[in-house]
Amino acid sequence: MTLNASIAIVDGGVPGGKSLPIASPEDITGLVDLLRGPGSFTATIEADNAVLDAHIEHGFGYLLYSGDEAFAYSQGDPDSPAVIESEVGFPQGAGVPLETFAAALAEFLADSDTPPPSVAWQDA
């Protein structure tokens, strides 16, 4: 399956955006690398029946799943700080290790009907 990730990017102070097709492990690696870079904000990955918002900040990955099964934030390290400067906003404790974050993206690509199982979830 190929999904589309839309990312807001500020390049040299100029706001813009980027749209990336996500269909392979290499695409997921590219998305994670892009989100780790300066000026990148939350990626919105859309499937037919759900949306996964993905954000990297403070060395953690943050997720928000919106679908028929749940509307929930990732539940991660209790010491991960809240993210307020993003399109979505994430509560304290929602940050997961980047390896887990990448695994969740791959799981969403394979099956978007339920929240990715590699991550614990908390109601939004």
Q: How many CA atoms lie within 13 A of 93 on its CB side?
A: 8
**What pLDDT was estimated at residue 69?**
87
Which tens digits make up the pLDDT trace of 103-114?
Answer: 999 999 999 999
pTM (predicted TM-score): 0.92
Which tens digits make up the pLDDT trace of 46-63?
Answer: 999 999 999 999 999 999
Domain residue limits at 94: 3-123
- Give 52: exposed, middle or buried? Use CB within 10 Å, 0-12, 13-18, 19+: buried
**What pLDDT was estimated at residue 12?**
62
Report how many domains make up the chain: 1
108 — phi, psi (to 5°)? -65, -40
